Amino acid sequence: MSNVNIKANSEIEIDDSINLSGEVCPMTFVLTKMRLDALKPGQHLEVVLPAGEPMRNVPISVKEEGHKILKVEKMGNMFRLIIEKS
Amino acid sequence: MSKIKTKKDMRITVDHHLEEDVKKKIVIDTAVDGKTGKIDFNELKSGGFIKQRQKDLFTVRLRCPGGRIPVKKLKKIAEVADKYGGDYVHLSFRQSLEIPYVNYKTFNGMIEELKEVDQNIASCGPRVRVPTACSGCEYNPNGLSDTQKMANVVNEKFFGYRCNHKFKISFSGCPIDCARTSEMDLGFQGAVFPEWHEDPCTGCTICASACLEGAITPHPKTGKPIFDSSKCLYCSDCIRACPTNAWRQGKTGHVVRVGGRHGRHPLNAAIIAKFVSDEDVPKVIEGILEWYKKNGEGKGRIRIGEILMEPGNIESLAKHLEGVLGDNAIKKPRPPEPVRINKFD
């Protein structure tokens, strides 16, 4: 697992957080989906994803399942997403 | 013989019954369940009955457009295969189900039983074959076009149409091209031009991550996309990925490839158009079959791709299709290119 430090976001309240830096597809989406399933509609999940294939696929799948991506931040080779559960 | 009238009033005669070079009918006596009848061997040849090595045994190829077989039909097919065929069925390379080890004396009974579920026999020989297609846009997330619907349109309208040689048509829903449109005499592949709208864009750069072709680079300061349309394959991944609907579906339709083939000497098809609508697909097929017929005259068994490699012919086809393709035509189409797979030194 990476040393990426997930900082709390001052603008958007985070309800849960997951670091997927060591994961590959399809587990990146499966783990994201499991966390989202546990949330209530409107709550926010923070996901840290590696660049490349996971960053290509996870946002598409998240959108196809009807959730909303509120924020994307690049942190070196990683991306930090904030997803609102639908 | 059945006649199909198309919009353009081109008459398409579907002839499942006779090979051009065989005039005489070869009739044999058959006996099924004590009854005797006659079978025309030429009918068999064009109708999807393929002679096996073994005496009297044939492989029966079923007509399965787009490789989709309703479960109800499949149950009957399984029953028929068990009764008339061998221990297994085989999936042909063009998505049709084949029942091997069928004795020709039982053909009539087998055909009758399959008809109960509207299951028809496929074709072989020099004619438009059963169209193939990928799994379909209803459930495949990559699908950009309704390939299954289009395969049915072709199956209804053009199946069996006589040509110089075999004529294979396929539909792929996206540029991944699972249905190998580049290896078909005529192939259609789904394509969507992405349009970017600045207002909703937040510069999140997800589209740049989603694009596999390097067609989208995020602006170093704003993160907003810099789009190089020359690298775009029209796959629509940017549209699917964009969280704010800044990328939207623009012109949509089929990329048209013509003159491909596989076999000993494969040809990579020529791209002649993009964004051709579903409604225009039958007109494009008609136009191409017309051109093939005219330009194949006197040339015997020759695939359209080989004709298109002769100097001036790809331009001639483009000219012939001008009215149908309009702005969707590729300005300077290149002829099909040989792909050498049997080169040893």
pLDDT exceeds cutoff 80 at B256: yes
DSSP state, residue B280: T
Minimal CA–CA distance to B47: which of B153, B165, B127, B112? B127
CA–chain centroid gap for B123, Å, is 14
Q: What is the rounded distance in angstroms from the CA atom of residue B281 to the CA atom of residue B7?
A: 12
The residue type at B55: K
Mean pLDDT of B135-161: 90
Residue corresponding to tokens 């039983």: B113
Q: How does DSSP assign B193-207, residue by residue?
A: EEEE-TTT-----HH
Query: Among the listed ranges B23-37, B98-112, B158-172, B251-265, which one has the minimum average pLDDT value?
Result: B23-37
Q: What is the rounded distance in angstroms from the CA atom of residue B159 to the CA atom of residue B168?
A: 10
**C-beta separation of A69 from B249 below 8 A:** no
- Both tokens assigned to B203: 């510069």
B210 touches chain A (CB under 8 A): yes
Active site residues of A: 25
Q: What is the rounded distance in angstroms from the CA atom of residue B237 to the CA atom of residue B276?
A: 20
Higher pLDDT, B234 or B24: B234
Looking at the partner chain, which of A52, A59, A64 has a beta carbon nearest the beta carbon of B206?
Answer: A59
Asked if B205's CB is within 8 angstroms of A74's CB, the reply is yes
- Let me know if A5 is exposed, middle or buried by CB neighbors in 10 A (0-12, 13-18, 19+): exposed
| Residue of B139, B205, B207, B209 to mutate when probing chain A, most A C-beta within 10 A | B209
How high is the pLDDT of residue B217?
97
Looking at the partner chain, which of B204, B205, B241 has a beta carbon nearest the beta carbon of A60?
Answer: B241
Asked if B240's CB is within 8 angstroms of A63's CB, the reply is yes
Query: Among the listed ranges B72-81, B93-102, B121-130, B201-210, which one has the minimum average pLDDT value?
Result: B121-130
Higher pLDDT, B38 or B19: B38
At B140, the pLDDT band (50, 70, 90 cuts) reads confident
What SS3 string covers chain A?
Answer: CCCCCCCCCCCCCCCEEEECCCCCCCHHHHHHHHHHHHCCCCCEEEEEEECCHHHHHHHHHHHHCCCEEEEEEEECCEEEEEEECC
Residues from A in contact with B at Cβ < 8 Å: 51-52, 55-56, 59-60, 63-64, 68-72, 74, 79
Query: In this predicted model, what pLDDT tens digit does every residue of B172-227 receive, in sequence order?
Result: 999 999 999 999 999 999 999 999 999 999 999 999 999 999 999 999 999 999 99
How high is the pLDDT of residue B93?
93
The pTM (predicted TM-score) of the whole model is: 0.86
How high is the pLDDT of residue B40?
59
The alpha carbon of residue A11 is apart from the nearest alpha carbon of chain B, in Å, by 16
Minimal CA–CA distance to B174: which of B146, B150, B144? B144
Cβ-Cβ contacts under 8 Å, B242 against chain A: 63
The alpha carbon of residue A70 is apart from the nearest alpha carbon of chain B, in Å, by 8
- Both tokens assigned to B246: 């800044």
pLDDT exceeds cutoff 50 at B119: yes
Percentage of chain B lying above the pLDDT 70 cut = 87
The alpha carbon of residue A82 is apart from the nearest alpha carbon of chain B, in Å, by 11
Q: Please, how many CA atoms are within 13 Å of residue B288, restricted to the half-sphere of its CB? A: 29
Minimal CA–CA distance to B211: which of B188, B228, B190, B191? B228
pLDDT exceeds cutoff 50 at A45: yes
Residue A26: asked if its preceding bond is cis (omega within 30°), the reply is yes
**C-beta separation of B180 from B170 below 8 A:** yes
How high is the pLDDT of residue B285?
98
At A12, the pLDDT band (50, 70, 90 cuts) reads confident
Mean pLDDT of B99-123: 92
- Residue B256, classed as helix, strand or coil, is strand
Domains of chain A in start order, with CATH, are 6-84 (3.30.110.40)
How high is the pLDDT of residue B51?
86
pLDDT exceeds cutoff 90 at B22: no
How high is the pLDDT of residue B45?
56
At B17, the pLDDT band (50, 70, 90 cuts) reads very low
The residue type at A50: P
At B125, the pLDDT band (50, 70, 90 cuts) reads confident
Minimal CA–CA distance to B14: which of B127, B119, B164, B115? B127
**C-beta separation of B1 from B13 below 8 A:** yes
Percentage of chain B lying above the pLDDT 90 cut = 78
pLDDT exceeds cutoff 90 at A3: no
At B123, the pLDDT band (50, 70, 90 cuts) reads confident
How high is the pLDDT of residue B39?
59
Asked if A72's CB is within 8 angstroms of B241's CB, the reply is no
The alpha carbon of residue A65 is apart from the nearest alpha carbon of chain B, in Å, by 11
Asked if A56's CB is within 8 angstroms of B212's CB, the reply is yes
Mean pLDDT of B129-154: 91
Domains of chain B in start order, with CATH, are 7-115 (3.30.70.2500), 132-338 (3.30.413.10)
pLDDT exceeds cutoff 80 at B36: no
Reported ipTM? 0.81
Higher pLDDT, B35 or B156: B156
How high is the pLDDT of residue B329?
98
Q: What is the rounded distance in angstroms from the CA atom of residue B168 to the CA atom of residue B187?
A: 8
Q: What is the rounded distance in angstroms from the CA atom of residue B172 to the CA atom of residue B67?
A: 12
Mean pLDDT of A44-70: 94
Average pLDDT, chain B: 89
